[in-house]
Structures are given as C-alpha cells and as structure tokens.
C-alpha cells in the first residue's frame, strides 16, 4: 500500500528555511517514510534532532556540492526504500505531496523521475519542470504563471528534466554496478547535474514527469541572473553542459548539434567579454577543459551508451526547438541587457 520513501534533505550553512523545510516534511501524512538530513557547515543539527524525528544525520566535513550531498543521502537510505525524494532546504512541501508523487509512479512503472510543482510565495510558478532545446540550453517555461490555473489545465506532464530541488527517483533504476549505486555525477559539483541525471534516465527508457498536484513552496537561494552569479558557476555551467551532451547524444545527434553549440558558445563568450569579462573568459575555459579531457569524457560516454535502451527521439520529443531570438532574449535577461 505504501512503499518505503527515503527523504533526503540537503542543507548548506545555517539558514532559517531548513527548519521550515523539515517541519513541512514531518507534517506530510505519508506513513512509510524516513528522513535523512545531509549537511555541510551547519551547526544547528543538535537543535533540529531534538525538535524533529530525523532518522539519520550526515555531517559532511568537506564541501561536495549538491551532487555529493544528495549521493551521500542516497547511499544512506533504507534498503527497503523504493523511492528517494531529494529536497533542498529552501523547499516547503505541501501536505500529501509525497503521496501524490508515489501514486503516479506506482501506477506507471515507466516513470523514473517525478517532480513537484514549485511555487513562489506570491502563488506564481517558480518551476514547472525544466526544459531544454536541442543545444542543451535550459528554460523555465510557465515561470511566473499562476500556479492554480496551471494545475487545473495540467496534471501529469512529460518534461525533459526535473529540478533536483524537489525530485523523486525510482531506486532500482540506479542500482547499476557501473554507477556505484549513485544517481548524480559528483564531478559536476553544482549546475546541470539534474539535467544529466534525467537524460541518463530517459536514455534507459524511463520517463521524467511533473506532478502538478504535488506542490512545494520554493524560496530560491541562487539568483537566475548570471551577471550576479559567481564566475565558477558560469564555468561549471558551460563545462557540465558539454559533458552531458557529449555523453548522451548518439553520434548522429552529435554531428547535427555539436558544431552549432560550439559556435553559439563562442559567440556568447565573446559578447560576455564586453559585459562581464571574467564570465566570458571562464566560458572559454569550460570549453577548453572539455577538449583537454576529451578522453575522460569519451570513456564516460561509452559507459552511458552501454545502458542505452531507446533512441534519442524518445526524449528529444520533449525538447523545444532551438531559437536564436529566444536564446538572445534569455541572454539579455540573465545579463540585465533588456531595454
């Protein structure tokens, strides 16, 4: 009736929202769950343990980034857990959010990953699933729309990738020896790790969906404006996107899209040099890293392609088409260049 769910809450530094996140998890009425708290540089864990029924606390001594934190929680799950729900500490889930995710995944064994609808404080959508174009650029469609109106029109939506802030995964998919039983690629550290995970899941023949009846309030910690982002964030964004596409795409798709991507990345980097010089330089460095480490990327590709069960069309059908005007609009928005 109620398969075991491990809830992995990841926290970085002491923040008031962690208390609210844990309170929402405890308030959720799903009966067969365990709570695993993974922290780095958090000093209030003793207080939280006294206040909440947390089954396991993992205090990391080294900053492994969100990917490493989630993997640590995944590895510490109960052996009976059929699902793992990853939650960032700035998400407060609504009552029955867990049950609704589980219900859809139990009904359809082909769903590998599901995401809750993330809502802002003003009732508008923060994330209704992540979208990609064929060049790997990410978009948040429907962001800013009224959440209740969207939920009336949509219930279960296929999406290219789910936001790791509130993502449920089916455990058996990741019980592959070659992946060491860990879903996220720890080398990504942060940025694009959820895209990579979901595309690898699609490649194995499992779907990624948004369940709009499962909701969570999201007090987003990182700005979406790249001009305010730390330079290393831009570097990892470029590097990780290239690694993912080189690993996931078939050779036919690589030939079709990779040259276009390299040209666009070069143009974006050259223009960024005028707006934010260190961002432009680090975009180039991200590309250079992939060239210098091409052998390592290709070995990763061979491992991932050995698990392929479907053609690229299986997940590309959820993509949006590359559009230069849309790309320029997103670029101007991220760098405050809109007039």
Q: Which tokens in the block code for residue 258?
A: 């990779």
Nearest Cα to Cα of residue 98 among 214, 219, 9: 214
Contact 165, 112 (CB under 8 A): no
At residue 177, the pLDDT reads 44
pTM above 0.75, yes or no: yes
At residue 339, the pLDDT reads 40
At residue 227, the pLDDT reads 61
Q: Give me the residue spans of the domains in the chain.
A: 226-334
At residue 225, the pLDDT reads 60
Pairing of strands 83-88, 166-170: antiparallel
Q: Which tokens in the block code for residue 33?
A: 């769950």
For 21, 33, 52, 93, 244, the CA distances from 27, given in Å and listed in that order, are 10, 12, 10, 9, 37
> How many C-alpha atoms does 204 have within 13 Å on its Cβ side?
23
- pLDDT means per 10 residues, the chain with 339 residues, are 95 84 94 94 80 91 92 94 96 95 97 97 94 92 92 94 96 68 88 96 97 91 60 88 97 93 88 82 93 96 95 95 77 61
DSSP letter string, 101-158: HHHHHHH-TTEEEEEEEEE-TTSBEEES-BEEBTT--EE-TTTTSBHHHHHHH-SEEE
3-class DSSP state of 27: helix
Dihedral angle, C-alpha 146, 152, 158, 162, nearest 10 °:
40
CA gap 97, 214 in Å, rounded: 4
């Amino acid at each position: 009736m109620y398969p075991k769910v491990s809830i992995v809450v990841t926290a970085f530094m002491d923040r008031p929202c962690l208390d609210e996140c844990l309170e929402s998890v405890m308030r959720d009425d799903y009966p067969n769950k365990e709570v695993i708290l993974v922290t780095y540089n958090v000093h209030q864990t003793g207080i939280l343990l006294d206040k909440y029924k947390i089954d396991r606390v993992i205090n990391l001594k080294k900053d492994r980034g969100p990917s490493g934190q989630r993997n640590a929680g995944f590895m510490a799950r109960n052996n009976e857990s059929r699902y793992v729900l990853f939650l960032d500490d700035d998400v407060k889930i609504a009552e029955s959010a867990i049950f609704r995710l589980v219900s859809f995944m139990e009904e359809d064994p082909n769903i590998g990953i599901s995401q809750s609808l993330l809502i802002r404080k003003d009732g508008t959508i923060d994330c209704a699933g992540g979208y990609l174009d064929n060049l790997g650029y990410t978009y948040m469609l429907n962001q800013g729309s009224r959440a209740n109106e969207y939920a009336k029109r949509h219930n279960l939506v296929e999406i290219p990738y789910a936001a790791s802030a509130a993502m449920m995964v089916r455990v058996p998919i990741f019980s592959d020896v070659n992946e060491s039983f860990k879903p996220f690629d720890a080398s990504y550290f942060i940025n694009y790790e959820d895209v990579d995970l979901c595309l690898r899941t699609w490649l194995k023949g499992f779907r990624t969906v948004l369940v709009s009846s499962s909701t969570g309030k999201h007090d987003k910690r990182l700005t979406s404006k790249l001009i305010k982002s730390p330079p290393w964030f831009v570097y990892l964004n470029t590097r990780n996107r290239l690694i993912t596409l080189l690993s996931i795409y078939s050779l036919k798709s690589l030939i079709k899209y990779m040259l276009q991507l390299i040209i666009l990345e070069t143009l974006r980097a050259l223009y960024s040099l005028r707006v934010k010089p260190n961002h432009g330089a680090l975009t180039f460095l991200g590309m250079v890293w992939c060239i210098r480490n091409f052998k390592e990327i290709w070995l990763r590709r061979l491992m991932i392609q050995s698990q392929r069960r479907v053609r690229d069309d299986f997940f590309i059908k959820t993509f949006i088409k590359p559009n230069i005007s849309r790309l320029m609009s997103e670029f101007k928005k991220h760098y405050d260049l809109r007039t």
